[in-house]
Amino acid sequence: MTRALLLALALLAVLAPAPAHAVRPDEMLSDPGLEARAREVGSELRCLVCRNQSIDDSDADLAHDLRVLVRQRITAGDSNDRVVAYIRSRYGDFVLLRPPFVIGTLVLWVGPLAILLLGAVALVRFYRRKDETAAAPLSVEERRRLTAVLGEGTER
């Protein structure tokens, strides 16, 4: 039993997905310190094609071009902030995986909460309206007539 469990865990560990880094060997810098900086900057930048991946995780051609550009800027002596500012000046705040909280990105930060609140308000209104349109109980006269109609239907 324990042997089968260990085998299953080992198999799971081997088959578990590892983080995908799409950085090609020809892109990598020979200096490990500069390469680490390039990876750090690349993890902050969004692939504009994939939209949900960093440029380091994406295989898209544009992500490749951005990785090369980041490495060129770092090799030229730019700081990490200057590299990000350079890319941001070309592609806007959308290229950042964590866009700043400013007026232009307010929809990105507040939009999901607003949609959630609107959905909650819609549900509350729906159930309140459903309660308001519920049928009122039958009056004594209506019950008498209903009993008469139902009684007539069973005699035939």
Q: Which CATH number do you get for residue 36?
A: 1.10.8.640
Amino acid 119: pLDDT: 95
Query: Does residue 79 sit in the same domain as residue 28?
Result: yes
pLDDT at position 26: 67
Q: Of 73, 100, 127, which residue constitutes the final position of a domain? A: 100
pLDDT at 131 (0 to 100): 66
Clarify whether residues 83 and 20 are in a common domain.
yes
Identify whether residues 118 and 70 lie together within a single domain.
Answer: no
pTM over 0.75: no
Q: How many residues does the chain have?
A: 156
| Residue 29 half-sphere exposure toward CB, CA atoms < 13 A | 19
DSSP 52-105: SSBTTT--SHHHHHHHHHHHHHHHTT--HHHHHHHHHHHH-GGGBSS--SSGGG
CA-to-CA distance for 96 and 92, rounded, in angstroms? 8
Residue 133 covered by a domain: yes
Residues 92 and 110 in one domain: no
Please give the chain's pLDDT, 156 residues, in tens: 687 777 776 766 666 554 445 666 667 777 888 888 988 999 999 988 887 888 888 888 888 899 999 999 999 999 999 999 999 999 888 888 888 888 877 887 888 899 999 999 999 998 888 766 667 788 899 889 988 888 875 554
Statement to judge: residues 28 and 88 lie in one domain: yes
Same domain? For 35 and 87 the reply is yes
Total domain count, the chain:
2
Residue 31: inside a domain: yes
Same domain, 75 and 90: yes
Phi/psi of residue 7, nearest 5 degrees: -65, -40
pLDDT of residue 20: 46
Asked whether residue 44 falls in the same domain as residue 84, the answer is yes
Same-domain pairing of 92 and 136: no
Tokens of 155: 């005699």
Range of the domain at 129: 104-155
Q: Same domain, yes or no, for 89 and 110? A: no
Judgement on whether residues 60 and 77 belong to the same structural domain of the protein? yes
Instruction: Answer yes or no: is 111 within a domain.
Output: yes
